[in-house]
Amino acid sequence: MNSPQTLLVIGIHREELAFGQAVAGGVDPAQVAVLEIPEGLSGQPPPIARRFQYEALHRALYLQLLPHVLNRHRLLVDLHSGSDPQLGADLICADPALCECLRTALAGGGHLAGAEVRVVPLGDESADLHARTIIPPQVWRNPAFLYLGLEIYLPGPADEWPAACALARELIAIAAGCAGRLDGR
């Protein structure tokens, strides 16, 4: 298998594509393959009356990722971004061993100082109901690969992106390291 172990997907939400491109522009193509969604969905949920269609479109878009991942990659990183006064990140993962490895790696990492990084388990809490309704289980709970949702919280305009991009790339590298370690399970 010649593909990199990790596939980075950017632009599921179209408003977040520009940041995704900034992150993807700095990854090593030998380590991380990039899949850019040219016409993603809006990250802003519509009024409740149109929520059903919005969630159905999300599920359909996520299912289109499967042929890009299966038999090619071991780890799918689904990059998102939001805004927050403080630079930070959520690592959303369903696999308990991956969550545990990420927690351990983050506890030992000094490079992430200044950023608030949380590991959010997906799949067993009502708090993540929204994520579960828009991401089909074939994507977040597929025995053939690991899923990681990576949400980066951007504190300011685009000229403050370099630190956020560096954080995103470091977290992708940490996740790739975990995926490699878990591969022999």
If the CB atoms of residues 54 and 100 are measured against Zn ion, the closer one turns out to be 54
Q: Is position 58 an interface residue for Zn ion (rule: CB under 5 A)?
A: no
Span interacting with Zn ion, options 5-13, 100-108, 112-120, 121-129, rule CB under 5 A: 5-13
Give the length of the chain: 185
If the CB atoms of residues 22 and 182 are measured against Zn ion, the closer one turns out to be 22
Cβ 134 to Zn ion shortest distance, Å:
10
If the CB atoms of residues 74 and 80 are measured against Zn ion, the closer one turns out to be 80
Contact characters 65-104, Zn ion, x per CB under 5 A: ---------------x------------------------
Interface residue with Zn ion, options 5, 6, 8, 13 (CB under 5 A) = 13
Express the helix, strand and coil content of the chain in percent, nearest 5 each.
45, 25, 35
Sequence-ordered list of residues with C-beta below 8 angstroms from that of 161, at least 6 positions apart, any chain: 19, 22, 154
Cβ 37 to Zn ion shortest distance, Å:
11
Cβ 78 to Zn ion shortest distance, Å:
8
Q: How many CB atoms lie within 10 A of CB 25?
A: 10
Q: Is position 43 an interface residue for Zn ion (rule: CB under 5 A)?
A: yes
Cβ 136 to Zn ion shortest distance, Å:
16
Q: Which helix (H) or strand (E) holds 114?
A: none
Cβ 15 to Zn ion shortest distance, Å:
8
If the CB atoms of residues 16 and 90 are measured against Zn ion, the closer one turns out to be 16
Provide Rg for the chain, Cα atoms.
16
Interface contacts to Zn ion, rule CB under 5 A: 13, 16, 43, 80
